[in-house]
Structure 1
Amino acid sequence: MAGNENERFEQFSAVLATELLERTKKSMELLAPEQQPCSKLPFVQTPSFVEFYGDLVRVGILPVVLSRRPVRAIVGDVDWKREGREYLLTVLDDRSNAIFTAWDFAWDSLWDERKVSTDTSNAGQKEKKGFFSSLFGRKSAPKPEQRPAGEEGAGDVMAGLHTMLTELAERRGFLPLFHEDVRILKGMPRVKPGRLVQAWKEITQYHHQEFYLSEKEQAKPGVTSECLQKWHYNLPDKIGEFLVLKAAVDLEHVNKPFIGKYIRQSARTQEEAEKGMPYLTVYWKSMSNPVVVQQTHTL
């Protein structure tokens, strides 16, 4: 690259990193409950993961994204310092844009364990392995059996992000990740924080109308559940489930019987519910039943 091209690429990289990190961080913060949960929460709703997430993206994901030729082609002759963000937003509004494609590729390529060649030509991979070990605080594990150099499949096995994040969950206090949770991480930049703000505002409004207004002004029973279902299925994969879980933590009357009924109405069988709403089901099982206050009458 020529000098100007290098400078534009660096500016583009900075604008892209800022937008993706701020967008995803804001969404995670909006999904996080304000009240104290009764048990561990999913990774996306746990502050300790949100803090860690930025470093993970900077070290592992963005370098892969920026290495993809279709992403580099976006740089063009845009003045990224002055009008870069506005232009980037138009790119991201196209669902099939090269950035999201590269983002998905990065998560997929790092999610599962894979063989790493011991050839010196793969020094970059070894360096990344070192970055991840440092980032996750992993101690050097005993080396797996290696085939002699020259044999097919020779090399070390590098742990995938799924394994590393599951190990991290124990130390950071969030629930272990399901293997398919890579879809959540891939989908996070596609979630616009404004949609979450709108969803939560609507949920709390219906909740207030159902449970706190006088009988004359009160909304019909079930409107809170209906609103939760609406957003549950209109937001990207699993994001709606996290919003229901947030309601279970933060909103009075959205208690164990409420969530149990919500789960039953959203799935035909318990097995289907646990598969379709695994995190909500786990949290529901940990919730306590509401205490029934018995009134005593005196003559």
Structure 2
Amino acid sequence: MTRIKGFFTFAAFIWLWGCGIWALYQYFTSGEFAWFGVLINAWAMPVWMVLRFFRSGQFAGEQWEPKAFAMLLVGLGIALLTASEQSLPMQLTIYNLFIVLVYLFHWSAVSHPPMPPLDQLFPPLSLSGSQTWPIADLAGKSQADDTDEASDGKGGYLLVMLRGTFCADSRAQVVQLAHALPGLKKSDVELVLVSTEQPEHWHHLWPGDSEPQVLQLAPTETANTAFIAPAGVPIWLRLSGRLLGMRAPRSGAACRPSAWLLDDEGYVVWRHLPTNYRMPGSGEFLCGQVSRLED
């Protein structure tokens, strides 16, 4: 299903860019103002997504993407008011509206398989290099040696599954979590970032000189199946490789965005399973859940 959504999303944005270019050509050759409406209508969402990609800290994802959707409707209104009855510009703007609505509510939706439930021990994660991150073992260090009074005594763990550095919302989420980190440390909660990319892909996004703890999941391991979308990396990125000098993931797999609050024994206290890739949850929202560990 992820591959199908990825293909249609790629085709939809190619259509919208192409429709806008053709509308621009028709506007200058025919002089019909309705084509200018088609141009605005077609490019509203693609231009907005480009802005979000390069300015992820300024433009956050929303369910309706209201700024882009408003411009989409402006273009539709221009076409409806200036085009002749049953003209091609009118039909194209309606088609584009349908495409954007399907993208907003279906193609960018996240379908989560059965996930670890609340009050259950979080499962071990298989990492690249044949390593594992067993939360039960980490949390059990304090009980492993009764004579060791200097155990780490963590108040808990906040695991954040990141879709990838290609995702504007994931990059913004990392910066937000960095600003909220002092509050986590005050609560003695350890922040752990998880993705399918190499840790150094994320380090340059982290403000300051410190580096966050990043786990790189092995995409093909059965233990990680629930957290991995096999074709989660956009087609355009896989086809272009390192687009504009950007660090491109080696695998087409990406994490499904989610967040997990675990107590000091590794049990799931709270989880966040977003329904849309464009709204993984702000860093402030995720870090605000640590108070649940005190309940």
TM-score (norm 1): 0.26
The structure whose residues are more often strand, as a share, is 2
